[in-house]
Chain A
Amino acid sequence: MRRAIVCSLFMGLTLSSAPATAVDEWKELYLDARDKDLKNGHFEDAVKHLTQAIALRPASSLGERTYSLEFFDYLPNYQLGRAYLGLGRRADAIASFRAEERQNFIQRIASDYQNLKRLMKEADDKENQEAVRRLRRDFDKLIADAADLDNRDRIEEAIVKLGEAGARARNLDAAAQARVTSMLEGLRQKQTARETEARLEREREALRRDLGEARTLLNSGRPRDALVKFDAILKGDPGNKEATDGRRDAQERIRATTTRELRVKDLEEGRRLFESGAIDEAIPLLTEAATDPSFTEALLLLRRAQDLSAQRKRQRESERRIGEIRRDILGLIDANRFSEASTRLNLLLGLLPGDPTATKQLADIDERNARNILNVLLGDRELPALTFVAPKLARTETKEDTITVSGVATDDRGLAELTFRSGARVVYSEDLTESDEERAHSFDVPVPLTQGLNRVVISVRDRKGRRFETYFEVDRKPTLVEHPYFYPMVAACAFFLVGAGASVYSVRRRRALRNRFNPYIAGAPVLSNAMFFGRKKLLSRVLNMIHANSLMITGDRRIGKTSFMHHLKMALSGDDGTEFKFFPVSVDLQGVPENTFFHTMMSEIVDAVDLAPETLTELRYRSESDDYDDRDFSRDLQRVITDLKGRTEKKVKLALLIDEVDELNEYSERVNQRLRSVFMKTFSENLVAVMSGVGIRRSWKSEGSPWYNFFDEFELSGFSRDEAEELIRTPVQGVFRFEDEAVERILNASDLKPYIIQKFCIHAVNHMIEDERSTIAVRDVVAVEALVLSDESVAPRISTPASDQPVL
């Protein structure tokens, strides 16, 4: 037995020392790298050891102790930077130095910090010199390639090469830029000449086609149409023999088949059309009239008309071609095909020198290319970074089973992986390489904790393979349940509570009687959740539909519409489990005059959604001035929705909950039409409305559709018996009690209308309190019945059960 105890002790000591060794391994790795590898020039080994040390303990620290109780400063990224320098990996060295700087410890050790600054500057300078050399080399090669392509008449490829050279030139000097500009100008001229040649070829082709058509027209007995065509051909090609002959032939035929009288008529009609601007319609008539050589006016008018027509045709053709090129450019920019877009832009600028849109588009592309080139050349000199929102402190305590770590990971070249470890266990890992060039990634990761000290290591890697790590220490304290004395205490409490419960009930009842406790509400809207009964089905139905439908809730006065709208607002505010984010806004139209309708609506929106200051200043809405119409409202709504979209990645729905909508019945048709037009706007996809009122007047005088066509309608009617019974019994549960007969009497007399039920309950409870009882009996209900039913707002709807009628 004694031996067994000794063995156990020995094993325990051995096992307990193992973690201590693992915990301190980073010290050995770090000191080996610093004092042996770096000193002996074994840079590869230093990188290996320091990377391992950082994995075990990412954060720097000062005043650490070795086994021999000597103090040292743990600055692993600084040492790693030195090792990288030794290997000639300057960009990695700069990134490591910057990572060390970010930890804010090295600044306290003057000698090390000065050394770090010096090494970093040297590395930076050398990298920059190398970058400029590379840039110059690339530039020269691209210029040579462009010249070669130009010589081989491959103009568009040459322009692409020059575009790339231009991006480099912007990072070099003015002379390089001037060289690119001058070459580009030459190429642009060649491109324009080629475009002109293509246009001329198209025109020649059209001429051949027109000649064929003119001949066909002549042969098919339509000399006037043929003559118009021949004239048009001769306008573009005055020496065309075939057209000259055809023209003569057509003229003769016209003269042979028309009379002077007809030609006079043609001239008059042609002149009228010419003067009214219908040039193309005037030409055939003037052509026919001009076949008579004595009609000099016809000839003059015809020439002017032909000139104008040709000019318009050229303009149309030019606009068509320019439009085509612009569309191409937009498509290429949308598809991120910037080189091709740049070629098209150069072509456009050749045709329209100085065009502001094209100039700006080209400048944007050049700027972008230059930036990209600079980024590539300078290389990646930063480690990825982590910024935390929670927890706030590097060491925290909690009694929870998990701790949520929230923050943002960033890297200027794109993130690759985010990993969370608790001790040695990976608790969360996310691959970020899938997303397009993700440079910032927010996280919100729950990390499970075990009792005692937990070390949570967060590690981020960028797409160049660089890693940055940091950690939190969380001391997980035991909860009450986890304490050993918890269960005995629970048992003792249970005994105590049973006894106390009975006396509490009695005390509560006495106190309720003394304070005249009466929780029912009749008249005012029910705002408290505890007093809101029934309507669960309708609420869930509305919630199920409101993302895509606008709804109208109708119902008698005092049926509970306002209470329903209030609870709908609360439900929408908390509705976070779907792809939609609702921003509910309540608007009460009671007493709102027509001329301030849109101002009131915007006022409520502005109050409810807490807009950003810059959005507020952009709005036309001003609280102090109600000179505000539907157009202002629509424009402001667009901005409000844009603001809301910036707050969430979900689909935004601004939900207008408009109560007392009957007020719209009193407004003019025009305001009603304007309200409808709001729902026709594109932004209305982010807008839903729930309106409530007794009823909307459905007489619509104007020709188009009424606004209420957009609304699906629901009627808010009385409660079901179960809902009504719940409303009667629940509010006083645990304090007073209702006799079953009393409940039955209220149900029958109230027609299951919530307002009347509440009135019955208020008066019946008061009657019971007067009698100093704690049970509401049927005699309390009977005693207040006349009072409740005498209320004007309820009397017309109540039918007393037949059994209650006095028998005469």
Chain B
Amino acid sequence: MRNPFIAGSWVRGDNFFGRSGLLRDILDGSRDSLWVIGARRMGKTSLLKEVEARTQASKETPYLALYWDLQGSADARGLADGLIASIEDNEHFRRAADIDIDAIEDLSVTDMLQAVIRRAVRSGWKTLVLMDEGEELLTVARNDVPTLGRLRRVLQKGPEVRSVITATRRLARLDEAAALVTSPFLHGFLPPIYLTPLDLEETSALLARGGFSEAAVSAIAEKTGSQPFLVQLIASRLFENKDLEGTLDVVANDDMVSNFFSVDHQTLEPIERRILEEVARERSLAPADIGSALSTPSDTLGPHLLGLAQMGYLKQAGGKYSIGNWFFETWLRRQSLNRGAAAESQALRRF
């Protein structure tokens, strides 16, 4: 039997697990503008790819979905290039909306998007725009604020278009970065919906593909906090070497995993990073204790704690917060030790 786990690449169809509530919100919910917020490697791309696949397979849906990867767009031209590449990649969309690439290729991104939406409406469809790597809009905001404003108008035009953006917390800085004369870009996309870790049932369904023992399934779910990338990575390695202890140890010390935590950590606000360091050091803390450790009233910390818990950085039990998964906790503690050691050697040198 081939290794059934996929660590890294996006998944859809039979390889996609869980997220039924989110899928319902996107496909059947009442909001036409949604921002799905999620930590890195939480499955944002897979969620959008699954939405795209489901709309393509459904006979009832009123939507024609278009997956649009924003990364590397940087400005109006880059956005247009990315959009046209997405349409070229999506034969189902082109055929159903009767799109002629040559006819729209030279338009600006907003005109192109409008033309696409019009074509879809004429063919009896609503357009479901699925924008991945939404953080790229921060770069667009730095380079080309007017385009951002025009884009907002098209994306929030009304019932014939539904827009979904996936991004990390960093996207929240967009409205500070882009001082739009009209409404702020994220205005209609708020409040965001959180892409949380999988629940236990979903994790177990995913791990069932490996034929692991119940004990191994519980251990993986517990150590990873059901973070989907870590679950897939550990399951994939375990499937190969059948040694759970060894696998956990190797993954905890893996440079690739450390790099992932390091980059992910950088997407958080400074106050959030301090909360995580404090909780990692004490293993488990009540909100009031976190507040006093950071000299900040605990009610000010409330939204941060809630957000961190939703994204899987923290978990809550018995009124106390602890770090969302063992690997991340190990990494945080190691970072703290390294910083301590570096400070000590600097002090010694000064002495």
Contacts and interface: CB of A to CB of B under 8 A. Distances in A.
A710 B41 CA distance: 10
Contacts of A712: 7-8, 233, 236, 256
B133 A635 contact: no
A114 to B, nearest CB: 54
A173 interface: no
Contacts of A361: none
A357 B98 contact: yes
A706 B132 CA distance: 13
B3 interface: yes
Contacts of A677: 69, 71-72, 82, 85
A673 interface: yes
A75 to B, nearest CB: 53
Contact of B124 (A327, A670, A710): A327
A712 B6 CA distance: 9
A682 interface: yes
Interface size class on chain A is 35 or more
A383 to B, nearest CB: 40
A697 to B, nearest CB: 11
Interface string B131-153: 01101101100000000000000
Contacts of B69: 677, 680
Contacts of B236: 545, 549, 712
A34 B186 CA distance: 90
B121 interface: yes
Contacts of B121: 319, 323
A785 to B, nearest CB: 33
Contacts of A331: 59
B10 A680 contact: yes
Contacts of B3: 544-545, 548-549
Contact of A674 (B52, B72, B96, B98): B72
A541 interface: yes
Interface string A528-555: 0000000000000100110111100000
Interface in B85-129: 85, 88-90, 96, 98, 121-125
B45 interface: yes
Given A319-B122, A631-B88, A702-B71, A680 B136 contact: no
A709 interface: yes
A713 B255 CA distance: 9
A329 to B, nearest CB: 9
A705 B133 contact: yes
Contacts of B40: 705, 709
Contacts of A326: 123-124
Contacts of A550: 8-9
A27 to B, nearest CB: 58
Contacts of A547: 2
A710 B8 contact: yes
28 contacts: A323-B124, A326-B124, A545-B236, A548-B2, A548-B5, A548-B9, A548-B15, A549-B6, A549-B8, A578-B2, A631-B85, A634-B89, A676-B71, A677-B69, A677-B85, A680-B69, A680-B132, A681-B85, A681-B89, A682-B90, A698-B263, A703-B136, A703-B138, A704-B70, A705-B45, A712-B7, A712-B8, A712-B256
Given A631-B85, A704-B70, A709-B260, 6 more contacts: A319-B121, A544-B3, A550-B9, A682-B90, A704-B71, A705-B40
Interface of A: 319, 322-327, 330-331, 334, 357, 541, 544-545, 547-550, 578, 631, 634-635, 638, 670, 673-674, 676-677, 679-684, 698, 700, 702-706, 709-713
Complex A-B, nearest 4 residue pairs according to Cβ-Cβ distance, in ascending order:
A323-B124, A673-B72, A703-B135, A704-B133
